[in-house]
Amino acid sequence: MTHVVVTGASSGIGAACARAFGKLGHKLSLGARRSDGLAGIAPGAFCHGLDVTKAASVERFLAAAIAANGPIDVLVNNAGLARGVEKIAEATGEAWREMIETNVLGLLEVTRRALPAMIARKQGHVVVIGSIAGHKAYVGGGVYCASKRALQPICETIRMETLGSNVRVTSVDPGMVETEFSLVRFRGDAERAAKVYDGVRPLTADDVADCVVFAATRPPHVNLDTIVVMPTDQANPQMVHRAPKA
């Protein structure tokens, strides 16, 4: 039975991944800052608080997960966020720091602790939830885009550094997904967040989870390096088809 670890699992894509793997009967270890939101996401899952920006929190979570469910087979690095849409000249360092510490350094803190055992066991899969923002920049998203683009060379490097160890690395990079993403970006402004998806058929968290599970369930000799998944109504971060209002 595969042991799947999911970070940022209390909502959105992380929760959808947990449910999808849980339906397949895999052992689950779920971590999130909002640990109270983990209960009930997937029956039988091990749940534990996790702040990927704090090294001590990462160490406690992974140690507890391994003690509960054994060696990690699949690590889904989902924890991440966007904060604000200010232009570079108008933004503040606090929001930049939060995005970089969570999206980049947090992912590295978790991954560097999981990789050695995967390499030693000659099996394992690191999945990174990236974004179309890592491929195409847009106005107001400079630092968020930079944090997601950074994940591409990180994934490429891990692939090279683990070559021959049977460790697989996959980046799943979605376009517009209707989750709490915009609510977090706009600091709880629900009305503004809802307008992001107005007239659009965005992806769902389950759509992205389908891609993650598909990659993780390929034969051991098959590695899907990058999956870019977009809504049919979106061509790039700035080109979105919106149905006219009746």
Q: Annotate 35-88 with DSSP letters as a single string.
A: GGG-TTSSTT-EEEE--TT-HHHHHHHHHHHHHHH-S-SEEEE----------G
Q: Could you report how far apart the first and last alpha carbons of the chain are, in Å?
A: 51
Q: How many CB atoms lie within 10 A of CB 225?
A: 13
Task: Please say whether the beta carbons of 44 and 20 come within 8 A.
Answer: no
Report, as residue numbers or ranges, the catalytic residues. 144
Distances from the Cα of 126 to the Cα of 34, 65, 153, 171, angstroms: 23, 16, 14, 8
Nearest to 175 by CA among 196, 195, 190: 196
- At 147, which amino acid appears? S
